[in-house]
Amino acid sequence: MKVLVPVKRVPDTAGEKKIDPNDKTVDRDSVESVLCPVNEFAIEEAMRLKENDGAEVTVLLMGPESAQPIVRKALSYGLDAGIQITDDAIAGSDALSTAKVIAKALEAEEFDVVIFGNQSTDARTCLVPAAVAEILGLPSLTYARNLEIDGDNVVAHRETEDGWEVVESSLPAVVSVVEAINEPRYPSFKGIMAAKSKPLDVKSLSDIGGDAGDVGADAAAATMYEFEPRPPKEAGTIVEDEGDGAAAGQLATWLVEKKFV
C-alpha cells in the first residue's frame, strides 16, 4: 500500500502575524513557520497504516525552498520519503490553485490513498482535500474521525450534528481527517536524525506539468485591496460591588448597551 500525506508550512498560531504591504500576503519572515498542527493527525494515521499494514508513506509539500525543514519535520515522525514542489510561480496561490498543484504532483505518483488534515490553521477553508479529489476524479471521504482500509476498500466514520455517518469507497481515494481521529506521537530522537538523510525529491511546477497561468496570486479568485493593523485592545469596564446592589444595576445597563441582552 502506498500512502501520500500532503502537508503545509504555516505561521505559528501563537505568533503575531503581519501583512506584507507590497503584495498584501502574510509576511512569512515576521513569524516563525511550523508544520501545520492539523497535519500531525494525518501523519499519525498514515504511520499506523505503515506499522499495521506495511504501507509506504510519502509526504508532499508545496512551498518555497525555505520550507524544506517542514518536510524534514514530517519525515521525523517515521515517514519514508518526501516530495517538495518549489516554484516562484505558485506564490500567493489560493485554495483552488493549491489543489491544482497538489493534484498535478499526485498524477505522477502511484498511491492507494491520500490523507489530508481537514484544514490548515492559517486559512481554514477546508476546501483543498475535496478539490484535489474532484480534479483527479477520485472518491472524496471528508472529515473522517475513524478510518479503516480493508483490501481495496476504505471506510470513513464521521460525526455530524445528526449523528454518525459511515461512507465507503474503493481505492484509490482522497481522505481528510479531523483532529479527534487519533493522538499524534512525538518524533523520536532516532526519527529526527534519520529524517536528515531520507529521500527528498524537489520538483518545479514544470517538472509536474503544471501551468503557471493557473496558479499564483494572479490566478487567485479573491484579491485583497487594503488592510489595517488590528486596533489596540481597549481597557475593559470594571464594576465594583459595594454591597448595596448598585453593581447589579450597572452590570445590567452595560449588558443592554452592548446588546448582550
How far from 30 is each of 17, 100, 208, 216, 238, CA to CA, in Å? 7, 28, 31, 21, 35
Q: Residues 57, 132: one domain?
A: yes
Question: 86 with 215, same domain?
Answer: yes
pTM for this predicted structure: 0.86
Q: What is the dihedral of CA 103, 104, 108, 112, to 10 degrees?
A: 0
Secondary structure (3-state) at 105: helix
Residue 199 is predicted with a pLDDT of: 97
Give the pLDDT score at 41: 97
For residues 113 and 157, membership in a common domain is answered with: yes
CA dihedral 65, 99, 5, 110 (to 10 degrees): -100
Q: Say whether both 238 and 124 belong to one domain.
A: no
Is the separation of the CB atoms in 85 and 208 below 8 Å? yes
- Residue-wise pLDDT for 126-158, tens only, equals 999 999 999 999 999 999 999 999 899 999 999
Phi/psi region, residue 259 (left: phi>0; alpha: psi -120 to 50; beta: rest), is left
Please give the pLDDT value at position 66. Answer: 92
**Residue ranges making up the domain that contains 245:** 231-261
Map grid coordinates 471521504 to a residue: 141
Q: Which pLDDT does position 224 carry in this prediction?
A: 81
The verdict on 19 and 110 lying in the same domain is: yes
The partner residues of 140 in beta bridges, in order of sequence, read 174
Assign residue 205 the CATH number of its domain.
3.40.50.620
Positions of the chain with pLDDT under 70: none
Neighbours of 184 (CB within 10 A): 18
Q: Say what the pLDDT of residue 18 is.
A: 82
223 phi/psi in degrees, rounded to 5: -130, 135
Q: Is residue 224 part of a domain?
A: no
d(CA 65, CA 85): 9
Residue 96 has what pLDDT?
94
Q: Quick one: 236 and 176 in the same domain?
A: no
pLDDT reported for residue 157? 96
Residues 255 and 189 reside in one and the same domain: no
Residues 184 and 107 in one domain: yes
**Nearest-angstrom CA–CA distance, 37 and 41:** 8
pLDDT of residue 233: 83
Q: Is there a domain that residue 139 lies in? A: yes
Closest CA to 146 of 55, 56, 44: 44
For residues 174 and 116, the answer to whether their CB atoms sit within 8 Å is: yes
Domains: count for the chain: 2
